[in-house]
Amino acid sequence: MFQQVQVFTVSADEEGQRLDNYLVTRLKGVPKSALYKVIRKGEVRVNKGRAKPERRLQVGDQVRVPPLRLAESPVVPVPGHSLVQHLQSAILHDDNGLLIVNKPAGLAVHGGSGVNLGLIEALRQMPGQVGFLELVHRLDRETSGCVMIARKRSVLKMFQEALRQREGIRKTYTALAQGAWPKGVSLVDVPLKRFVQNNGERIVRVNQEGKDSTTHFAVMERFRDATLVEASPITGRTHQIRVHAQHHGCPLVGDDKYGDTPLNQALRQQGSRRLFLHAARLDISVTDWEPLTVQATLPDDLQQFLLNLPKSRE
């Protein structure tokens, strides 16, 4: 099945996007390989001229797309009634084009890599949901807590730029580290690099050839075998808090990737069922935006686990 020639006019909300990303969003169902092929061949025209994939679009630009073959429409998974109810009750903020949701642990933020249904796909199919909806940032599947979603492209651009510039958005996590967090360690500043193992699994290590990575840690409470900490990442690297905690000899409780230790196995016998990492608070002070603080209460399962932990003898 082929589409006809199409001409799009770039709106204010779409300004600044790369041509290739714009077309991927606009032309759902068209394989990316086909899009890049027609761009390279010069068959996609912007204001009647050839354009490269990385060209940044401006308001009012006319984008002409030749006929393209549509891929077979994939079956879109539908969120179950219980998930819909949970997400409806998990909305922490919804105003001015910004949606903040308290994501449950175990739900990926988006589909892919063997995951059919993620948070963003479920939200797009919620009753009454229409229009633009995109993730501002990500959380690991095992991590619960605050996730920002943009209802407007202008909001998406604003907040992603703030995250890139490390200004105006402070994320605060609650984490339980194995053992006794070292006294005097409040700032971890070591570079991180991603590696892909032979089985395709990605893993992050401290590596001098990696990207700069900084996390502030503060002790909240000490237990006999673990330490409750507050972690505020300044940078946003993959698995950053988890690897920084591991680097100081205190991997997170429930972390089977970076903290599979005898202590972690013993804590599992005491009721640890998942990664103890929760995105607890967002403090937003982006320019031209009303200051906003949003908090997500520590989930019941994590609270219950803390109640059963032996206290520190200190």
Look up the CATH number of the domain holding residue 52.
3.10.290.10
Do both 135 and 171 map to the same domain? no
Q: Same structural domain for residues 138 and 170?
A: no
Q: What is the pLDDT of residues 123-139, one digit of tens each?
A: 988 877 778 899 999 99
Q: Is the pLDDT of residue 2 over 60?
A: no
What is the model's pLDDT at position 224? 94
Asked whether 77 and 121 are in contact (CB, 8 A), the reply is: yes
Q: In this predicted structure, what is the pLDDT of residue 95?
A: 94
Q: Strand runs (DSSP E) across 10-80, as ranges?
A: 45-46, 49-50, 62-65
pLDDT band for 172, please (50, 70, 90 cuts).
Answer: very high
Q: Which domain holds residue 303?
A: 166-307
**Would the pLDDT of 237 be above 90?**
yes
Dist. CA 314–CA 312, nearest whole Å: 5
Q: Which of 123, 153, 183 is the last residue of a domain?
A: 153
Q: Known catalytic residues?
A: 140
- Whether residue 313 lies inside any domain: the answer is no
What is the share, in percent, of the chain residues with pLDDT greater than 70?
A: 95
Please give the pLDDT value at position 114. Answer: 62
Instruction: Using the Cα atoms of residue 180, residue 184, residue 186 and residue 192 in order, give the sign of their dihedral.
Output: negative
Predicted model pTM: 0.80
